Amino acid sequence: MIRSKRPWRHTFQVALEGIWYTLRTQRNMQVHLGVMFAVTGLGLALGLERTEWFWIGLCITLVIMAELFNTAIETVVDLVMLNPHPLAKIAKDTAAGAVLVAAVFAVIVGVILLGIPVWKLLVN
C-alpha cells in the first residue's frame, strides 16, 4: 500500500474544496444553506432546548451530506457516461431520492420543533 506524504491539513483542504464546489454550483445546496440559516435564526429566537438543537443539527447534517453525495455521484456518472444510459439515470435518480428523503425528514422535524411554537405565538 502506498502512503501519502501529504500534510494532514490537506485532508481538510480538499474536503472544504468539495463543499465549496457544491455550494457554488448546485442550486439545491444553496437553498439548503439558506433554509439552514433561517431555521437556525428561528431556533435562536424561540430559545430551543439542547435536545431540540440536536435534532435540528442532525437534520442539517443529513441534508448537507446527502446533497454532497448526490453531487459526487452525479459528477462521476456524467464523467463516465458520455451518452445517456438507463443505469446512469437510475444512479442519479437514486442519489437525488436520498436528498429528498433527508429533506422530508428535516421538514417533519422542523414542523414538530419549530412549527408548533410559531403557531402558538401567532395564535396568542
The verdict on whether 52 is a catalytic residue reads: no
Question: Of 17, 49, 67, 74, which residue is the catalytic one?
Answer: 67
**Cell 435562536 appears where?**
44
* Cβ contacts of 88 within 8 Å, gap of 6 or more: 77, 81
Tell me the C-alpha distance between 9 and 102, whole Å: 30
For residue 90 the three cell numbers come to 437510475
- List residues with catalytic annotation: 67
